[in-house]
Chains A and B, each alone.
Chain A
Amino acid sequence: MKEEIIKIKEEILSELKKIKESKALSDLETKYLGRKGKLTVFLKQIANLSDEEKQKIGRLANETKQEMIRKFKEARSVISGETEAGFIDVTLPGEKRLLGHLHPITIVQNELEDLFRSMGFMVLDGPELESDYFNFEALNIPKSHPARDMQDTFYIATPHPNPLPHPQPLSFARRGERKERGQEEASVDQSDMVMRTHTSPVQVRGMLKYGAPLRCVAPGRVFRAEAIDAVHEHTFDQMEGLMVDKNISIGNLIAVMKELINSMFGRAVETRVRPGYFPFVEPGIELDIKCTICLGKGCPGCKHSGWLELLPAGQVHPRVLEYGGIDPNKYSGFAFGLGLTRLAMMKYKINDIRLFNSGDLRFLKQF
Chain B
Amino acid sequence: MYLSLNWLKDFVNIPRSVSAEDLGLKLTTHTVEIDGVIKEAKKYDNIVVGKIKEVKPHPNADKLQLALVDIGSGEERIVCGASNIIVGQKVPVALVGAKLPNGVEITEAEIRGIKSRGMLCAEDELGLGNDHLGILILDKKARVGQNFGECLGLKDVIYEVDNKSITHRPDLWSHYGMAREVATFLNAKTTKLFNKLGQEEIMPDSEDVEVSVKVEDQKLCPRYMAVVMDSIKIQASPEWLRERLIAVGERPVNNIVDITNYAMLELGQPLHAFDARFLKAEFSTDNKVKIGVRRAKKGEIITTLDGEKKDLDESMLLITDQIKPVAIAGVMGGENSEINNETTAIVLESANFDFVSVRKTSSLLGLRTEASKRFEKALDPNFCEPALKRVIELIKQVCPTAKVVSKVADEKKFKLNQGPIELDLNWLADFIGGEVERDKAVNILVSLGFIVDGKKDKLLVTVPTWRATKDISIKEDLAEEIVRIIGYDNLKFKMPGVEMKAPELNKERQFEREIKNVLAGSGLTEVKNYSFVGVDQLKKLGVEYNKHIRLVNPITKDSGLLRQSLATNLILNVKTNQARNDHFEIFEIGNVFLPIEGNLPRNNKDGTVLPMQVKRLGILVAGEEGTDVFGCAKGAIELLASYFHLSVKYEAMETGPAWAKSGYNAQIMLGKEIIGSISRVSQNSSRKYNIKKAVAIVELDLNKLYQTVRAQGGYRHEEFARFPALIRDLAFVVSEKVLYNDIRNEILGFSELIKKVELFDVYRNEKLGSSKKNLAFHIVYQTNRTLTGEEVDEVQAKLIKKLKDRFEAQIRDF
Residues of A participating in the B interface, judged by any CB pair closer than 8 Å: 98-103, 105-106, 110, 113, 117, 120-125, 127-131, 133-134, 137-138, 144, 146-147, 149-150, 154-157, 159-160, 163, 165-171, 174-177, 179, 188-190, 192-193, 195, 205, 208, 213, 215-216, 221, 223, 225-228, 234-235, 243, 245, 247-252, 254-256, 258-259, 272-277, 279, 282-286, 303, 315, 317-318, 323, 325, 332, 356-362, 364-365
Contact of B430 among A247, A357, A364 (CB under 8 A): A247
The answer to whether B555 touches A156, judged by C-beta atoms less than 8 angstroms apart, is no
B521 proximal to A (CB < 8 A): yes
The answer to whether A167 touches B561, judged by C-beta atoms less than 8 angstroms apart, is yes
Report if A227-B498 is in contact (Cβ < 8 Å); known contacts: A165-B535, A249-B432, A357-B530: no
Interface of A is mostly: mixed
The answer to whether B310 touches A176, judged by C-beta atoms less than 8 angstroms apart, is yes
Contact of A252 among B30, B365, B496 (CB under 8 A): B496
Bound CA–CA A360/B581 (angstroms): 11
B464 proximal to A (CB < 8 A): no
The answer to whether A125 touches B528, judged by C-beta atoms less than 8 angstroms apart, is no
B457 proximal to A (CB < 8 A): no
The answer to whether A169 touches B500, judged by C-beta atoms less than 8 angstroms apart, is no
In the assembled complex, 24 residue pairs joining A and B whose CB atoms fall closer than 8 Å, in A order, are A101-B526, A106-B516, A122-B506, A131-B610, A144-B356, A157-B551, A159-B595, A166-B560, A167-B561, A176-B310, A189-B552, A225-B553, A235-B532, A250-B488, A258-B493, A275-B29, A275-B165, A277-B164, A277-B169, A282-B474, A356-B528, A360-B577, A361-B576, A362-B580
Report if A250-B483 is in contact (Cβ < 8 Å); known contacts: A155-B552, A303-B35, A364-B526: yes
The answer to whether B31 touches A252, judged by C-beta atoms less than 8 angstroms apart, is no
The answer to whether A250 touches B431, judged by C-beta atoms less than 8 angstroms apart, is yes
With a cutoff of 8 Å between Cβ atoms, the chain B residues found around residue A166 in the complex are 535, 557, 560
With a cutoff of 8 Å between Cβ atoms, the chain A residues found around residue B496 in the complex are 243, 245, 248-249, 252, 255-256
Bound CA–CA A123/B163 (angstroms): 34
B546 proximal to A (CB < 8 A): yes
The answer to whether A318 touches B474, judged by C-beta atoms less than 8 angstroms apart, is yes
The answer to whether B495 touches A100, judged by C-beta atoms less than 8 angstroms apart, is no
The answer to whether A215 touches B516, judged by C-beta atoms less than 8 angstroms apart, is no
Within 8 A of A (CB), among B33-89: 33, 35-36
With a cutoff of 8 Å between Cβ atoms, the chain A residues found around residue B627 in the complex are none
How far apart are A348's CB and chain B's nearest CB, in angstroms? 15
How far apart are A126's CB and chain B's nearest CB, in angstroms? 8
Residue on B with the closest CB to A273?
Answer: B488
With a cutoff of 8 Å between Cβ atoms, the chain B residues found around residue A272 in the complex are 29, 489
Residue on A with the closest CB to B488?
Answer: A273
Contact of B555 among A160, A208, A234, A255 (CB under 8 A): A234
Stretch of B5-13, B388-396, B584-592, B708-716 that contacts chain A: B584-592
Report if A275-B31 is in contact (Cβ < 8 Å); known contacts: A100-B526, A101-B525, A170-B552: yes
Residue on B with the closest CB to A134?
Answer: B603
B737 proximal to A (CB < 8 A): no
Residue on B with the closest CB to A226?
Answer: B555
The answer to whether B508 touches A125, judged by C-beta atoms less than 8 angstroms apart, is yes
With a cutoff of 8 Å between Cβ atoms, the chain A residues found around residue B477 in the complex are 282
B231 proximal to A (CB < 8 A): no
The answer to whether A277 touches B167, judged by C-beta atoms less than 8 angstroms apart, is yes
Please provide the 8 A-B residue pairs with the shortest distance between their CB atoms, ordered closest to farther.
A251-B433, A249-B433, A283-B480, A98-B523, A273-B488, A167-B560, A359-B573, A133-B603
Report if A256-B503 is in contact (Cβ < 8 Å); known contacts: A157-B552, A286-B33, A315-B476: no
The answer to whether A103 touches B528, judged by C-beta atoms less than 8 angstroms apart, is yes
Q: Beyond A156-B551, A171-B555, A252-B495, list 17 extra A-B contacts (CB 8 Å).
A: A100-B525, A103-B526, A121-B503, A122-B504, A128-B591, A144-B356, A160-B550, A167-B561, A215-B503, A250-B432, A252-B494, A277-B165, A325-B604, A357-B528, A359-B569, A360-B576, A361-B525
The answer to whether B520 touches A102, judged by C-beta atoms less than 8 angstroms apart, is yes
With a cutoff of 8 Å between Cβ atoms, the chain A residues found around residue B525 in the complex are 100-101, 361, 364-365
Residue on A with the closest CB to B472?
Answer: A282
Bound CA–CA A275/B504 (angstroms): 33
With a cutoff of 8 Å between Cβ atoms, the chain B residues found around residue A195 in the complex are 531, 551
Bound CA–CA A216/B229 (angstroms): 63
Bound CA–CA A147/B377 (angstroms): 10
Contact of A169 among B167, B530, B554 (CB under 8 A): B554
Q: Which of A103, A105, A147, A205 has most B Cβ within 10 Å?
A: A103
Bound CA–CA A226/B532 (angstroms): 14
With a cutoff of 8 Å between Cβ atoms, the chain B residues found around residue A165 in the complex are 535
The answer to whether A359 touches B529, judged by C-beta atoms less than 8 angstroms apart, is yes
The answer to whether A155 touches B167, judged by C-beta atoms less than 8 angstroms apart, is no
The answer to whether B551 touches A113, judged by C-beta atoms less than 8 angstroms apart, is no
The answer to whether B33 touches A100, judged by C-beta atoms less than 8 angstroms apart, is no
The answer to whether A255 touches B495, judged by C-beta atoms less than 8 angstroms apart, is yes
Bound CA–CA A124/B488 (angstroms): 30
B380 proximal to A (CB < 8 A): no
B301 proximal to A (CB < 8 A): no
With a cutoff of 8 Å between Cβ atoms, the chain B residues found around residue A255 in the complex are 493-496
How far apart are A30's CB and chain B's nearest CB, in angstroms? 52
How far apart are A95's CB and chain B's nearest CB, in angstroms? 14
Bound CA–CA A143/B500 (angstroms): 40
With a cutoff of 8 Å between Cβ atoms, the chain B residues found around residue A133 in the complex are 602-605
How far apart are B420's CB and chain A's nearest CB, in angstroms? 18
Bound CA–CA A193/B168 (angstroms): 25
Bound CA–CA A192/B603 (angstroms): 10
